[in-house]
Homo-oligomer: A and B are copies of this chain.
Amino acid sequence: MLDEKGISKAVIARLPRYYRYLGELIDNKVERISSNELSDLMKVTASQIRQDLNNFGGFGQQGYGYNVRYLYSEIGRILGLDQTHNMIIIGAGHLGQALANYVKFEKRGFRIIGIFDIDPNLKGHTVREVKIQMLSELPDFLKNHKVDMATLTIPKNSAREVADMLVANGVKAIWNFAHIDLNLVLPKDVIVENVHLSESLMCLSYNLTHARREHKDC
């Protein structure tokens, strides 16, 4: 097993897509696939597939291709999906509840162990058997539970303060839906994945406004 360092983020960003297609191939009872066949399916070059995978070691076999189940599980392992991640959600609005209700996360090892909000009206309500707690209870909660990642579905203006508090209490990974680049304001060793939905919508708007012959997504 190679040491997986210095791998470009472009490669990492493609792994989940490989993983998804391989999962579908398993559902379709496909046992093996060549880089060329996968290339046809996913509309990327076979060269890129082989290069990407070889960043992590040789998962294929000359003359045969790749065993679908094996490659699927290896990519899952690389992505850390073989481990259980305890997750909390801060912000129990529609977006927070949408994420909490997404059954598949649980299957991938993302276990929601707490949901927090500031709205007293939500107190005691339950989302997928997890009770909504008040944000004020969060510091205590963090001291008594192992929390691997926190999802922030709260407004921009409170995001930084909450993030600082999370970090002060040892949280090392944040899935951030607030419109602020938390990675720029938090310590470097805290991992931040920003999801800026409005920026995605603006890309769509750009492409619609400048509609060309052949459209490339952005």
Contact = CB atoms under 8 A, between A and B. Distances in A.
A57 interface: no
A176 B82 CA distance: 28
B194 A217 contact: yes
Contact of A104 (B95, B193, B198): B198
A168 interface: no
Q: Which of under 10, 10 to 19, 20 to 34, or 35 or more describes the interface residues of A? A: 35 or more
B206 A15 contact: yes
Contacts of A19: 202
Contacts of A85: 205, 208
B201 A80 contact: no
A29 interface: no
Interface string A196-216: 111111111111111111111
A218 interface: yes
Interface stretch (A64-72, A116-124, A137-145, A183-191): A183-191
A193 B204 contact: yes
Nearest to A214: B188
Interface stretch (A4-12, A45-53, A158-166): A4-12
Interface string A83-111: 10100000001110111011011001110
User: What are the 10 A-B residue pairs with the smallest beta carbon separation, nearest first?
Assistant: A80-B209, A94-B98, A16-B199, A9-B218, A193-B204, A95-B98, A16-B202, A80-B205, A12-B218, A173-B208
20 contacts: A12-B206, A13-B199, A13-B203, A16-B202, A79-B209, A80-B210, A81-B202, A93-B98, A94-B97, A98-B98, A99-B197, A102-B197, A105-B198, A105-B201, A108-B201, A175-B201, A183-B215, A188-B215, A191-B211, A193-B204
